[in-house]
Chain A
Amino acid sequence: MTEINRESIWTKYIFSQDHKVIGLQYAFTALFFLLFGFALMMIMRWQLAYPGKPIPANGFIWVIALLGVVITLIGLFRSKKNVITLSGIIFLFMAWIIIYLTSGEGRMPEGIMIPDFYNSLGAMHGTIMIFLGVVPLLVGGLGNYVLPLQIGAPDMAFPKINMVSYWSYFLGGITMLVSFFVPGGAANSGWTSYPPLSDLATTGQTVWLFGMVLLITSSLLGSINFITTVIQLRTKGLTWMRLPFFVWAQFVTAFLLLLAFPPLEAAGVLQLMDRLVGTSFFLPSGLYVGTGPLPVSGGGSPLLWQHLFWFLAHPEVYVLILPAMGIVAEIIANNTRKPLWGYRSMVFATIFLGFMSFIVWAHHMFMTGMGTTMTAFFQTTTMIISIPSVIILSAFFISLWGGSIRFNTPMLFALGFLPMFGIGGLTGLPLGLASSDIHLHDTYYVIGHFHYVVAPGTIFALFAGIYYWFPKVTGKMMDELLGKIHFWGSMIFINGIFLPMFIQGLAGISRRLYDGGESYLHAQDVLFWNEVMSYSAWGLGLMQTVFIINFALSLRNGKDAGSNPWKATTLEWSAASSPPIAHGNFDNVPEVYRPAYEYSVPEASTDFIPQNQKEVK
């Protein structure tokens, strides 16, 4: 322990090589980006509900600013926790950025949004939510913190690389933020950055590409670390089929990140060449723009970008969903007090899912005219990939059967995940079939579909994970009442946002209209839903303040949790709560004697047997 004390604040908290500190760095950074991406969307929703009207003195800016002041004050004077003070200052900074964004000539002169800025918001909302929010929180945050603990490892296999991974992510995030301030604003060609549009877009697109290169580097380093850690650092007795399902999910996810991101990096390099050196990888011959024929050599292929992009971006969908399923599995087993139903089939389904996710990408491209043979192939693989998802979801539902369920906050979020992901998945089927996709492609139906998967699906699972592991990280319990208010409020509002999108989408409203469809005759009947959705979005924002307050208060005066408040079986609960920051998580290296979920074993005196307990007592 003397060694730890000699570390300075820089090596202990800033450039730390400890997986727990890095996990927390990831989690906090990602949470702020989630809030920021959400704020961008709330600005968009104003434009959609009231197109062309000046944005009012923005209530929610004041909410964020006020939160910032309150949290800073709590941090400075009441709890003396630097983390809280820092969070408060970051909130104030965010309020300033949003004030900057909602004013100014190129963005919102006199509060009225110009179309290019709407496009910027859309592109950056998607980029920030996926690459800077959800994935870093799922994999970098929860994965980094929990996975080594769950396999009884002292740390990740490569602590230095882990640190570089975080800082590369951080720089990528800063790069994306900076892009709002370059001439012409941030990237505005959608999060998919389709050329030729993106090849010819303003400087923000170049900054976006550099940011993506940093983020890809980060996830590459992270995924190498995760896979090596799981293969090499499993403790004695922890065989593959005894791994907690969360570890399996992270393991397969890491393979997806490892193998799917490089083609996007390749595509990014090609687009950078197009933009900076003047090549024509994505510019076809004879391209004509407003000022005349484009002076390039031509001969490129815009479809090439789509193939390379979706080769990443479809596995990315499973990067978003698999760790979420892992979290839900932990919480469901724990709160039904039963072993997971069909653990082995879930594991094999996950591996199969990971494999299949590499050969479905072109179902995003049915409208490109790539030919019926290709369409038939990708339509078939898309239908096949729904089978393992259904296996996993069914296993969750059957696991609930006959359990004496504890309805605590993490369990509520995990249960909320099931129908929400179910809706998201089932509404995806018509999009995977080419004939129905022709009608639904690029409408609000698509937005509704993937948001059901990612927002009330994955993000609910994320909240479940935060409520579930908060006691392990901090040694304190989060408040149950505030947690339940947060859950029910979020549940109602989030459906208020995304259900109407299906209605609008079926009516044929395009997803990229900057006036929300006001100028289109066929949109008139469903136009009033825009207001409903916007108010739901702002309501959802308000509900998240409940979470933030709960988080800050519980950190300060939550109930003491002890090391195993949920009476759970997996290894992380046999480490001390708030484990010491140094390599080495356990007082004695645990040895594993049994599968991950030994709940309600008939001959045992307690209703759970930890994995590292040898005898049934």
Chain B
Amino acid sequence: MQIPYTVEPRPDTGLHNAKIGIWLFLASEVMLFGGLFSAYVLLRTGSIVWPEGSSILSVPIGTFNTMALIASSVTMVLSWAALKMNDLSKFKMYMFFTYFLGLVFLIVKVVFEYLPKFEHHLYPSESTFLAIYFTLTGLHALHVLVGVIVNIYFWGPGSKMWETEPERFTNRVEVAGLYWHFVDLVWIFLFPVLYLL
């Protein structure tokens, strides 16, 4: 026997199962990052000195990464729209850009931000600012990495499902997209909080 409403929406709720599932998951993610952001607020208000973010971090690199993530969110939507319009090759192109930009974000983050910090002996143990910076961005980078892996899967082997269950595959991409937008959104909060304030 099949689980009902895996593909088609339930009439009275108007949603399929995975869509509720991902929104619930995102709610818990909001609480996770919410907890860390409140930790940031509490630590900062309780500190005597707190460095200007831009004196330690590079705002241009951060801005570049912000742009990369926002662009990848746009291509994510375009890839889903391509599926809605029955165009698999267009989906593949946009999905490629999505995870490519995600990878660009990660590489820039590690090569141009983390590694130079370590070279200058700016470790998390150095100060509370660096500690919360590495924790927040590190956890966010993990989320980006997971998103990239999921997107590569849907771009590569996962897209076989398009042949057999196109509607289900489109739903999956939509759900992955919701997650990807959330990861993007977290960065939109992280960037001003850590780099600019």
A contact set with B: CB distance below 8 Å: 154-155, 157-159, 161, 220, 223-225, 227-228, 231-233, 258-263, 265-267, 269-270, 273, 277-281, 296-297, 299-301, 303-304, 307-308, 311, 582-584
Check A258–B28 contact: CB distance below 8 A.
yes
Query: A154, A231, A273, A280: which contacts B2 (Cβ < 8 A)?
Result: A154
Interface status of B128 (Cβ within 8 A of chain A): yes
Check B127–A582 contact: CB distance below 8 A.
no
Check A277–B124 contact: CB distance below 8 A.
yes
Instruction: Known contacts A228-B24, A232-B17, A258-B27; decide if A154 and B4 are in contact (CB<8 Å).
Output: yes
- With the chains together, A376 CA to B38 CA distance in Å? 22
Check B17–A228 contact: CB distance below 8 A.
yes
Residue of B nearest to A264 (CB): B35
- With the chains together, A231 CA to B43 CA distance in Å? 39
Contact with A along B10-52 (1 / 0, CB 8 A): 1001011110110011011101111110110011001110000
Closest 9 A-B residue pairs measured CB to CB?
A584-B1, A266-B35, A263-B35, A278-B125, A279-B131, A262-B32, A262-B31, A299-B128, A157-B17
Prevailing SS type, chain B contact patch: helix
Residues of B within 8 A of A281 (CB): 39, 43, 128, 131-132, 135
- With the chains together, A307 CA to B35 CA distance in Å? 10
Check B135–A279 contact: CB distance below 8 A.
yes
Instruction: Known contacts A227-B24, A266-B32, A299-B43; decide if A154 and B1 are in contact (CB<8 Å).
Output: yes
Instruction: Known contacts A232-B13, A262-B32, A273-B131; decide if A154 and B3 are in contact (CB<8 Å).
Output: yes
Query: B18, B46, B48: which contacts A301 (Cβ < 8 A)?
Result: B46
- With the chains together, A223 CA to B31 CA distance in Å? 14
Interface status of B64 (Cβ within 8 A of chain A): no
Query: A161, A228, A263, A300: which contacts B31 (Cβ < 8 A)?
Result: A263
Prevailing SS type, chain A contact patch: helix
Check A273–B124 contact: CB distance below 8 A.
yes
Residues of A within 8 A of B21 (CB): 157-158, 161, 224-225, 228
Interface status of B112 (Cβ within 8 A of chain A): no
Check A233–B24 contact: CB distance below 8 A.
no
Residues of A within 8 A of B34 (CB): 262-263
- With the chains together, A258 CA to B131 CA distance in Å? 27
Check B10–A232 contact: CB distance below 8 A.
yes
Residues in B126-157 with C-beta less than 8 Å from chain A = 126-128, 131-132, 134-135, 139
- With the chains together, A159 CA to B21 CA distance in Å? 12
Check B3–A233 contact: CB distance below 8 A.
yes
Check B128–A280 contact: CB distance below 8 A.
yes
- With the chains together, A158 CA to B127 CA distance in Å? 43
Instruction: Known contacts A157-B17, A273-B135; decide if A583 and B1 are in contact (CB<8 Å).
Output: yes
Check B17–A158 contact: CB distance below 8 A.
yes
Residues of A within 8 A of B33 (CB): 266
- With the chains together, A263 CA to B37 CA distance in Å? 10
Query: A155, A223, A280: which contacts B3 (Cβ < 8 A)?
Result: A155
- With the chains together, A493 CA to B43 CA distance in Å? 47
- With the chains together, A297 CA to B179 CA distance in Å? 36
